[in-house]
Amino acid sequence: MRTTLKLISPLIVSVVVVSLLFAGYQVRTERRVLRNDLSRRDEILGESLQENVEPQFDRPLPDKSLQRLVDRFGQREHLKCVAVYNANGVALAVTSGLASLFQIRPAAAALAAERDTGFGEFLSVNNTPVHVYALPLHSNDQVVGTLALVHDATYIDQQVAHTLRDSLVNALVQTLLVTLLALILVRWTLTGPLARTAKWLRTLRTGQSHAPPSLPQGEVFDQLHHEVTHLARDLNAARATAEEEARLRDTNDSLWTAERLRVSLSSKLQNKPLFVIANREPYMHVRGIGNNGNVQVIVPASGLVTALEPVLLATEGTWIAHGAGSADRETVDAKDHLRVPPDHPKYTLRRVWLSAEEEKGYYEGFANEGIWPLCHIAHTRPIFRPEDWVAYQEVNRRFADAAIEEMESTESPIVLVQDYHFALLPRMIKEARPDARVAIFWHTPWPNPEVFGICPWGRELIDGLLGADLVGFHIQSHCNNFLSTVDRAVEALTEWDRFSVNRQGHVTRVRPFPISVALQENGQPARTMAEESAALCNELGISATVLGVGVDRVDYTKGILERFRGIELFFELYPSYQRRFTFVQLGAPSRTKIERYQTLLDQVASETERINARFQAGHWKPIVFLKRHHSHEEIARFYHAASLCMVTSLHDGMNLVAKEFVASRGDNRGVLILSTFAGAALELTDSLLVNPYDVQQLAGAIHRALNMPVEEQAARMQRMRDSVREHNVYRWAASLLSDLTEIRIDAPERAESAEPLTR
């Protein structure tokens, strides 16, 4: 109640003040109107009496007829006195009521005679308010006397008093009514919802879980609902983190969590921001055709985004990326900055703009038609064009300029460059900022020296990478290949015992950092595997009792065609699974501007149709190919519904799909079929490891997975989940950045070239 009174007190005071001001205005107006009316009546009466009195001055004065005339006029309502004076101010005739008071000419009569015009004034006589009005009297065009009319003005004060009383009563009634109505409205629209919100937050604080209260519609309440919902989410997350940390302390566990990463990086980075440079941005803004042209926020389906965002959230740093969304320019500020995530900003996204020609040469050309097939050894011939190499150099320089600009006010900045798009960037940054600690993480495999030697500009790429203080790969064999390549490509001292390279006095360390995902302990899903499988089959319009799933970008390195041929052979060898088992391939179109990728997309669709045409019966299909991007929530449903997940990469740095599937299976069910050519195979040894080129082995693995006893599934999945839990993305980030921050920089002084680079 006190809160309500505090809220409406200003309203009550305002109503009272306005009512009093209005009452004062009414009283003042009433007094002015009544006085003006009295003055007007005196003027009319005076002029009438003047016409009757002036002829009397033609007779000898005093004359009794003048007194009778005055007495007759003096009987009018509120007229207390009529007096006639000669030119010397001597009273010639005065009404009997106030004769003693007006024997001497009043000042108003003297002024009227002096000015030869009517004059009136209000004054008090014996504490009685009166109005005196005087007119000059003429004879032969000479002022020979004055006429004075005295009206009782008491009724004016009485009328004004009544008006004031009525106004105050009205003000009181209005104040009471407004106060009552305000109390009702405030309690209904404001304090009531706020009280429910406070009660809800109190229950959350005490550890109880309830749905958020409903709030009225409106801009303020929408913002309040948005903020308290996120506050509740953060509170729950903080409580879960605290509970997890307490559990870890009790069990002396070494598990890395988001909170542990935040605390660790805060200490190691000494509260300095982290600068991450990647081609892919974590949030993309697009103007959707099917959304009335409104701007939508999209989180790109990318393992890199999944891995890096927890690091940026922990350090509140800056992510520098290519702004590729159709509405990206509309959402940044004058410095091309944007605070993200949209619902709970924690770090800065700096967007770099590229022309269509630059993107084609740098990204589609040199990076993805050259370096990508070169590193993956998936028997797709790399294409190296001189014009693409020029574009690659220019874009690397552009990102270097942006990074140096962002780091301008930061002493000894810490920079984490991502992937094969920016092989030249470490050298560029290091030359401009020798005091910076620079690491680059290479997410793809690194080939042997013979394969890498195909690249015409291999020496330049190696020199750019050796500008970094730390080069990271997923697995040790990629580190070995890199050092062997350095031995062949450039003049440098390769220290195999320390896994470092000394080139021109600068030491670059080479280390394996197996990337991973965050395993969420969310308990059992709402549906069982069978229930989710049945629901998805119903939505897909197919008839099946068992589902398998594959989740990939449509890329020739993922072995999708080999996977399909293994499935085809499986149905040939085990026909009893026809009409029972369906494999769902979630295929996100990728790099479709490159002819090889567009051709592959068509091949995957064609192969799906061919196999389905061979085996399909009624509503059952052996393969369902869903050719579009899927959200994390959609993918999670398929992970949970699948009896098996196939990851058949022909060559892969790590492949996070394998770890995501394991992380999603809180029920300890399902089987992972994993290519030995994926980096994840070194960690997830309880999966069914296969050679994706061996279709017979693929078919046998599918059969074994579908017939694996539940106990064996649970034991294998539990061991893989333990591995992912222990070696999660937070541990990856902590290891990488911890090694980087421990590197001693021999040249801490900033170079003169620290200004943004120019060509």
Residues 605 and 555 in one domain: yes
Per-residue pLDDT band for 143 (boundaries 50, 70, 90) equals confident
More confident residue, 685 or 207: 685
Domain end: 158, 183, 207, which one?
158
Least confident window among 188-202, 228-242, 255-269:
228-242
Residue 174 lies in a domain: no
In whole angstroms, give the CA distance from residue 225 to residue 215: 7
Residue 288 pLDDT > 90: no
Strands, sheet with 671-675, edge to edge from the N-terminal-most edge strand: 623-627, 581-588, 546-553, 644-647, 671-675, 688-690
Residues 474 and 542 in one domain: no
Looking at residue 108, its pLDDT comes to 87
> Tokens 């943004």, residue?
756
Looking at residue 573, its pLDDT comes to 97
What six digits make up the tokens of 347?
Answer: 């770090």
Per-residue pLDDT band for 15 (boundaries 50, 70, 90) equals confident
Residues 600 and 669 in one domain: yes
In sequence order, what DSSP letters do the residues of 619-688 get, joined into one string?
TB-SEEEEES---HHHHHHHHHH-SEEEE--SSBS--HHHHHHHHH-TT---EEEEETTBGGGGT-TTSE
Least confident window among 123-137, 564-578, 600-614, 635-649:
123-137
Looking at residue 541, its pLDDT comes to 95
The pLDDT of 176-182, averaged and rounded, is 84
Domain count for the chain: 4
Residues 713 and 747 in one domain: no
Of these ranges, 158-167, 171-180, 482-491, the one predicted with the greatest mean pLDDT is: 482-491
Residue type (1 letter), 638: F
Q: What is the pLDDT of residues 573-624, one digit of tens each?
A: 999 999 999 999 999 999 999 999 999 999 999 999 999 999 999 999 999 9
In whole angstroms, give the CA distance from residue 464 to residue 488: 16
Looking at residue 255, its pLDDT comes to 84
User: 433: Cβ–Cβ under 8 A, 6 or more apart, which residues?
Assistant: 404, 407, 413, 750, 751, 754
The pLDDT of 734-750, averaged and rounded, is 79
The pLDDT of 388-412, averaged and rounded, is 96
Looking at residue 523, its pLDDT comes to 58
Looking at residue 758, its pLDDT comes to 39
- What percentage of the chain exceeds 70 in pLDDT? 87
Residue type (1 letter), 43: E
Residue 201 lies in a domain: no
Residue 198 lies in a domain: no
Query: Which among 91, 93, 79, 147 has a CA at the least distance from the CA of 119?
Result: 147
Looking at residue 489, its pLDDT comes to 93
| H-only helix segments in 445-528 | 449-452, 458-465, 476-489
Residue type (1 letter), 236: N
Per-residue pLDDT band for 52 (boundaries 50, 70, 90) equals confident
Give ∠ CA 161-163-165 in degrees, rounded to 5: 70
Q: What is the pLDDT of residues 312-337, one digit of tens each?
A: 887 889 999 999 999 999 999 999 99
Residues 74 and 99 in one domain: yes
Looking at residue 231, its pLDDT comes to 67
Looking at residue 114, its pLDDT comes to 86
Q: What is the pLDDT of residues 412-438, one digit of tens each?
A: 999 999 999 999 999 999 999 999 999
Residue 414 lies in a domain: yes
Least confident window among 89-103, 402-416, 433-447:
89-103
Contact 225, 231 (CB under 8 A): no
Whether the full predicted model's pTM is greater than 0.75, yes or no, is no
CATH number for the domain spanning 21: value is 3.30.450.20
Residues 612 and 579 in one domain: yes
Residues 464 and 316 in one domain: yes
Q: How many angstroms separate the first and last alpha carbons of the chain? A: 70
Q: Report the SS3 class of residue 474.
A: coil
Residues 229 and 101 in one domain: no
Domain end: 138, 158, 178, which one?
158
CA 749 to chain centre: 38
Contact 515, 502 (CB under 8 A): no
Residue 298 pLDDT > 60: yes
Per-residue pLDDT band for 753 (boundaries 50, 70, 90) equals very low
Residues 337 and 447 in one domain: yes
Residue 692 pLDDT > 90: yes
Q: Mean pLDDT of all residues in the chain?
A: 87
The pLDDT of 520-527, averaged and rounded, is 70
Per-residue pLDDT band for 199 (boundaries 50, 70, 90) equals confident
CATH number for the domain spanning 632: value is 3.40.50.2000
Domain end: 158, 185, 211, which one?
158
Residue 507 pLDDT > 70: yes
Residue 20 lies in a domain: yes
Residues 550 and 503 in one domain: no
The pLDDT of 529-543, averaged and rounded, is 95
Residues 138 and 239 in one domain: no
In whole angstroms, give the CA distance from residue 423 to residue 389: 12
The pLDDT of 383-389, averaged and rounded, is 97
More confident residue, 28 or 252: 28
For residue 36, the number of C-alpha atoms closer than 13 Å in the C-beta half-sphere is 6
CA dihedral for 431, 436, 439, 440, sign (positive or negative): negative
Residue 179 lies in a domain: no
Q: Report the SS3 class of residue 277.
A: strand
Looking at residue 177, its pLDDT comes to 87
Residue 286 lies in a domain: yes
Query: Which among 456, 470, 491, 279 has a CA at the least distance from the CA of 374?
Result: 456
Residue 139's Cβ-count burial label (10 Å; 0-12, 13-18, 19+) is middle
Looking at residue 212, its pLDDT comes to 62
Residue burial 103-112, b: 16+ Cβ < 10 Å; e: rest:
eebbebbbbb
Least confident window among 69-73, 176-180, 203-207, 367-371:
203-207
Contact 151, 79 (CB under 8 A): yes
Give ∠ CA 316-319-322 in degrees, rounded to 5: 160
Give the domain range for residue 481: 260-516+740-754
Contact 429, 400 (CB under 8 A): yes
Residue 577 lies in a domain: yes
More confident residue, 632 or 389: 389
Residues 444 and 352 in one domain: yes
257 — phi, psi (to 5°)?
A: -125, 170
Least confident window among 432-446, 680-694, 742-756:
742-756
More confident residue, 546 or 213: 546
Looking at residue 617, its pLDDT comes to 95
